[in-house]
Amino acid sequence: MKLVIDVRMINASGIGTYLKNILPEIIIAFDEVVVMGNKKEILEFEWSKQVDIIQFNSKIYSIKEQFLYPFIIPKCDVFWCPHFNFPILPVRATKKTVTIHDVNHLTGVSPISKIKKQYAYLLFKNAVRKADIIFTVSEFSKTELIKYTSAKSEKIKVVYCGINSSLFEEEKNNENLKLPQDYILYVGNIKPHKNLIVLLKAYNTFSNEFKSQFKLLIVGKKEGFITKDNSIDTYIKKNNLEKFLIFSGYVSDSDLPFYYQKASLFVFPSLYEGFGLPILEALAAKTLVISSNAASLQEIGGDAVIYFNPRNAAELSKKIKECLESKVIDEAKKQKRRIQLDKFTWEKSIKNHLEGFGKILNLPNTQ
């Protein structure tokens, strides 16, 4: 069996993490594997020795990628697109699969223009219509796919992402990072649906004494913190928050567990997530989590997380204070962490992907 995979997003944050963790085992399950992407990036991975590589650098979502797909994708048993930018024109694949993590582009929380939203809708509809199986990462995303694209339920297979718990559980020690003694942690980009503004508003309600004790550490760059409907930069300056905020800049995968482990509290205020991997990362690091109750986040966090209405800064403020002042809350949630984390492993994710491939290929053994 020959599998062809578009891996151009191998170094993207969410989709890249997903691909890096499942590709090694997916690859060895097929007789022949071809990957399409930046050859230099691909060769950095050990598994690259087991695949053929087709150089393909066209921009994601571009007209050029759609024009080139039929010429780039070789004849194969299965073509797998790990994002919704699925080929519109016919390709030489007997079976076709797609992974759709969420439909954020089609929702009200997305800030993209009307034209871009229409193009995204075209791509989503094309993907769900032509794919023989649709992988998605949560029951929430499955429901959203059906709601926004009328995808057929029987074609959708929910496969949770995993978490390398051991990477976050192992005690880290990196004195070079020079982190504050106590801090509230935020990990995520600055897109509007990440809802950083509500965390800043909640944090701004605290006294200067409290903020001096518990700095707000934001894993990400300070530059460019502008959104469509508000300027985070302006809010920070208007309320004199600069001296209480720490912007980490880029953080490597090897250092990220340390940031989680040393945090007094992790806050995830997002309005829309197909999965919500940072919640699991914080739980694995044994850090107390306050999360938005929106989208898939209660499905992922379960009983191990404290939730709040992401539109209510006052509620978040209250819960942050309660969590930082009460050891009882932390102890109660600790008992739930392992139960929740055991639901999300890359081994289970790989097994479920292979079962999906096996189903559309009519293979007798899909384990």
The DSSP line for 229-245 is S-BHHHHHHHTT-GGGE
Global confidence as pTM: 0.90
CA–CA distance, 83 with 85 (Å, rounded to integer): 6
* pLDDT tens-digit map of 286-319: 999 999 999 999 999 999 999 999 999 999 999 9
**∠ CA 283-286-288, rounded to 5°:** 70
Per residue, the 3-state secondary structure of 268-295, as one string, reads ECCCCCCCCHHHHHHHHCCCCEEEECCC
Q: What is the pLDDT of residue 82?
A: 97
CA–CA distance, 299 with 302 (Å, rounded to integer): 6
Q: At what angle do helices 277-284 and 327-341 cross, to 10 degrees?
A: 110
- Give the closest residue to 358 by CA, choosing from 77, 130, 35, 47: 77
CATH number of 2-162+345-361: 3.40.50.2000
- What residues does 136 pair with on adjacent strands? 158
Q: What is the pLDDT of residue 109?
A: 82
**∠ CA 113-80-33, rounded to 5°:** 140
CA–CA distance, 173 with 169 (Å, rounded to integer): 12
- Give the closest residue to 318 by CA, choosing from 276, 280, 290, 286: 290
Numbered ranges of CATH 3.40.50.2000 in the chain: 2-162+345-361, 165-341
10 has a pLDDT exceeding 90 = yes
Q: What residues have CB less than 8 Å from 113, skipping those under 6 apart?
A: none
Which residue's entry shows tokens 């780039």? 72
- Give the closest residue to 84 by CA, choosing from 114, 129, 34, 150: 129
Average model confidence (pLDDT) across the chain: 92
Q: Residue 335: which pLDDT band, with cuts at 50, 70 and 90? A: confident
Give me the amino acid identity at 158: V
Largest CA distance in the chain: 65
* pLDDT tens-digit map of 105-150: 999 887 788 999 999 999 999 999 999 999 999 999 999 999 999 9
User: What SS3 class is residue 2?
Assistant: strand
* pLDDT tens-digit map of 174-196: 667 778 999 999 998 777 889 99
Architecture of domain 165-341: 3-Layer(aba) Sandwich (3.40)
Q: What is the pLDDT of residue 221?
A: 59
* pLDDT tens-digit map of 39-74: 999 999 999 999 999 999 999 999 999 999 999 999
- Give the closest residue to 346 by CA, choosing from 10, 5, 12, 17: 17
Q: Residue 367: which pLDDT band, with cuts at 50, 70 and 90? A: very low
Q: Residue 366: which pLDDT band, with cuts at 50, 70 and 90? A: very low
Q: At what angle do helices 327-341 and 313-325 cross, to 10 degrees?
A: 100
CA–CA distance, 364 with 367 (Å, rounded to integer): 9
> By the 8 A CB rule, do 162 and 296 touch?
no
Q: For the ranges 241-250, 311-320, 348-357, which has the lowest average pLDDT? A: 241-250
